[in-house]
Amino acid sequence: MCFDTIRQMWFKPPEPALLNTNPPAMDRYFARPICLWMPKKLWKVRLTCPGKDCKGQELTSAGIYRTLRRVLSLSRFYYLATEYLECSKCKRKLCSWNQDLLDQLDVGRRTQFPCILTRLKACDLEVVKLLRHRGLGNSVSRLRQNLAEVHGEDMLKRTAHYLSDCQTFSAAHKKGLVDKSHFPPPPTPQSAILSLDEHGLQS
């Protein structure tokens, strides 16, 4: 992905082909969406260094931050990427998801940031909304269980789709219609959602 050609926030992986004339590409079944949080790049907003000695020095682009954050959403995980910004005065570099920079945005743009970040966790705002409505019979442990079920169902659906297309392609090979191909096994269902404890959700 070329930094100069980015013109949108969300990128969804391509869908599996309706009719496979080539071996099923596993990435099309299991790839995750990615959100590119780049307010300076996409909206041309002015963001300034929060350093006390920099006196509002405007930050300049320093490319894409190399670390992706994996965000827990209602039905699956997605990735969050961001731009790297640099202060020419103090040489400090900041990610544009830094809280000091988020606070500089107007309400309309600030509310487009899709999640809450902690040092180790990242949680989509739709999940956070469910946490706000906790009550009798709707505890954090119950929410965790529900999320695990929904994530598991999504994974099973994608796995079934992939294996079914592999089977169809193998049947076509036996009839001499296509060349023999190797199909990598589907990814193992992730335990990340299952290992997410109540403290992790609350934080």
- pLDDT of 14-69, one tens digit each? 999 888 788 999 999 999 999 999 999 999 999 999 999 999 999 999 999 999 99
Do 93 and 83 meet the contact criterion of CB atoms below 8 Å apart? no
Residue 37 has phi, psi (to 5 degrees) of -90, 100
pLDDT recorded at residue 202: 53
Residues with Cβ within 8 Å of residue 78, at least 6 apart in sequence: 32, 33, 34, 35, 70, 71, 124
**CA trace torsion 89, 108, 64, 79 (10° rounding):** 140
- pLDDT of 134-150, one tens digit each? 665 567 788 888 888 99
Helices 125-132 and 140-174, packing angle to 10 deg: 140
> What's the DSSP call for residue 90?
T
Structural domain for 30, as ranges = 3-202
The mean pLDDT value for 169-197 works out to 75
Specify burial of residue 178 (Cβ count, 10 A radius: 0-12, 13-18, 19+).
middle
- pLDDT of 97-111, one tens digit each? 999 999 999 999 999
The model's pTM? 0.86
* Domains held by the chain: number: 1
